[in-house]
Amino acid sequence: MSSQVLVEAPGVHRVEAHTPREPGPGEALVAVHAVGICGSDREVYQGNRPEGYVRYPLTPGHEWSGTVTGVGAGVPGTLVGRKVVGEGFRNCQVCDRCHAGETTLCTDGYEETGFTQPGAMATTLTLPARLLHVLADDADLTAAALLEPAACIAAAALKAGARPGERVAVVGTGTLGMFAVQFLKAVSPAEVLVVGTRNDREALSRRFGATDFRLRDRELPDDFDVVIETAGSASAARTAASLLRRGGRLVLTGIPAPGADGLDPTDLVVRQLEVHTVFGAPPDAWAHTVRVFGAGLLDPLPLVTHELPLTEFSQAIELVGAGDPKVGKVLLRP
């Protein structure tokens, strides 16, 4: 039976019958294969997401993969049967930021699949076909369900602009950190350092391409060309900045709690550090992710530790927030 998760209000949800919505002009209907759960989905369920960035009642799910089963008017029929992933931001396409390719900064207001628009924790998902990215016919759809967080890190890697032979580092050893290691490794750096708080992440870090692993509370170097921070705390951001040589490039992707103490502006100016930030993934980052994934340079599967049916939504949310080191990426399977 077709089903979907519906979060009626913070802390209140049910699994109910799902009726696919036929695609209108410019839209596509996707049979969902798998959908990932991240901290923002937990925020939706708990009611901690900032005002304006969620709309209840809601079917969550912004990390997903699937197969196109139908298209609306104006969409090529050749898309039917193709494996796909899709961008989440429902940008307007006409403002100056959208025309510049910065769709995550759309000035028409925030709309995103799984937060303000129906998401993929359902048997099917209907969305604008222009948001889809087509995968190879032999692509692993379970692995592809993780390409949304990978695309966010691809945006960071593109902003970092790491070049072959440079010394690069990643602060944070979660899903985003492991993707950062893989994207940076793909540009043939001289060294890839991973800095984290858990010794048990060293083996996985090295599997993905790290050449060195250090704990954050130990003595750390200060001469790296590029650092990507993925840990989401103010202290991690400061650690990331401290790893850089003068003139080095820093990209922050984590979102600390509001009011967190930030970086020292004097240090940024005196050392002439180049600082970038990332929130979401624009189209070029998605295209880069799909290309790298198709080339076999991105391996999401080792990050998946749990696959559950939609009916186990509550358990999945608990797993994501439990802090258990044995819990990696949790997927729901419609």
pLDDT digits (tens, 9 = 90+) for 204-254: 999 999 999 999 999 999 999 999 999 989 999 999 999 999 999 999 998
CA atoms of 271 and 282, how far apart (whole Å): 30
Q: Over 90: is that where the pLDDT of 307 sits?
A: yes
Q: Over 80: is that where the pLDDT of 146 sits?
A: yes
- Full-model pTM: 0.94
Ranking 56-60, 108-112, 176-180, 182-186 by mean pLDDT, the lowest is 108-112
CA atoms of 180 and 58, how far apart (whole Å): 31
Q: Over 80: is that where the pLDDT of 285 sits?
A: yes
Residues 6+ apart with CB under 8 A from 8: 14, 56, 57
Which pLDDT value is given to residue 213? 98
Banded pLDDT at 325 (limits 50, 70, 90) = confident
Q: What six digits make up the tokens of 159?
A: 């902003």
Banded pLDDT at 50 (limits 50, 70, 90) = confident
Which pLDDT value is given to residue 120? 98
Which pLDDT value is given to residue 215? 97
Which pLDDT value is given to residue 125? 98
Match 């979102």 to its residue by tokens: 255
- CB contact at 8 A, 286 and 311: no
Mean of all residue pLDDT scores within the chain: 96
CA atoms of 53 and 169, how far apart (whole Å): 31
Backbone torsions φ then ψ of 182, nearest 5 degrees? -70, -40
Mean pLDDT, residues 62-89: 98
